[in-house]
Structure 1
């Protein structure tokens, strides 16, 4: 369960983005295979509304540690390849983390662009209004718990269903005279 809770903010945002993008994707013609989707130029107001939505949903919590996490991951990989430089790499990691501090804000900008390209300016303003409403506030508050409980249910179901599948395999193999 701790693993699920660790990723809950990211899962909440990903699920919200996925669910909110379905109607928009259904309205768009299929893109050519291999071609990158065209990104329409978004208005500053649309970008601002998208950023407000991301702020209300506390999206930055899911990538707040992106820079130190990436620095640490890179440091570990480099140490594994250069064991004799461990002391230096530990020191350099602190310098690099300091130099790159704040770059995670680029994620906010990119996510706002994505929202603004998937929704019209008016739709984004409507979403802001919704999230400010009592139901929207309840959604923001209750959705992480609902997603966490849903993930726990899915994990439990998968574990139980795996046993069912294993039983079916064993039964079919027994019919062939083979015990597994």
Structure 2
């Protein structure tokens, strides 16, 4: 399973790239090898694809479980064959790295990518990456508390203003006292509507 904090960081990084890419995509010209190299360095520095390392092992495990449940008598063969095929497919991980690097290269100039990598490889950049999930949780808590407080305060302020402008509530109709003789009051007579 992909750890939640790492996957959230990757999703945030990729979402940022997608947003920025929409605004500042490089021209449709071929991306130079130097530009792509800078993009790969930036991707590596922000660990943008680290959480994707678990995709193939997870697929391996899920396929084994599924096949063994259907064919328990073939368990040894299933494990061996699935592991062999997993290793055969593993080099395709490079395709993903290239696609991610290309997306970054389209969104950022070679110079910007070099600066991104330099920052994230610095002690401050490394601290930023390692502490961002903690900061994110704290920010989320602060937002939740603030949101509840704002909703409460808004509700109270509106209720106060509405009480000032709403017409005064009419007093309830007085209950008719029973007659002194102790008998119940007469029921009103209903008159049928005229036809």
Fold shared by both chains (TM-score > 0.5): yes
Match of 2:55 among 54, 66, 82: 66
Aligned to 1:144: 133
Aligned to 1:105: 94
Shift of 1:124: 1.4
Task: Please say if residues 41 and 117 of structure 1, whose CA atoms lie closer than 8 Å, have aligned partners that are also in contact.
Answer: no
Change (3 A) 1:7 1:103: farther
Shift of 1:115: 0.7
Larger RCO of the pair (alpha carbons < 8 Å, separation 6+): 1
Q: Give the SS at the match of 2:66.
A: helix
Aligned to 1:128: 117
- Equivalents in 1 of 2:129, 2:97: separation in Å? 18
Which structure carries more helix by proportion?
1
Aligned to 1:177: none
1:19 matches 2:16: yes
TM-score normalised by L of structure 2: 0.58
Task: Please say if residues 79 and 89 of structure 1, whose CA atoms lie closer than 8 Å, have aligned partners that are also in contact.
Answer: yes
- Equivalents in 2 of 1:75, 1:9: separation in Å? 26
Task: Please say if residues 45 and 120 of structure 2, whose CA atoms lie closer than 8 Å, have aligned partners that are also in contact.
Answer: yes
Aligned to 1:51: 40
- Unpaired runs of 5+ residues, structure 1, are 29-37, 162-180
Larger Rg computed on CA atoms: 2
Q: What is the aligned residue count?
A: 146
CA RMSD of aligned residues (A): 3.5
- Equivalents in 2 of 1:148, 1:59: separation in Å? 19
- Equivalents in 1 of 2:126, 2:45: separation in Å? 9
Aligned to 2:84: 95
Change (3 A) 1:93 1:113: same
Task: Please say if residues 43 and 49 of structure 2, whose CA atoms lie closer than 8 Å, have aligned partners that are also in contact.
Answer: yes
Change (3 A) 1:121 1:7: same
Shift of 1:44: 1.1
Q: Give the SS at the match of 1:59.
A: coil
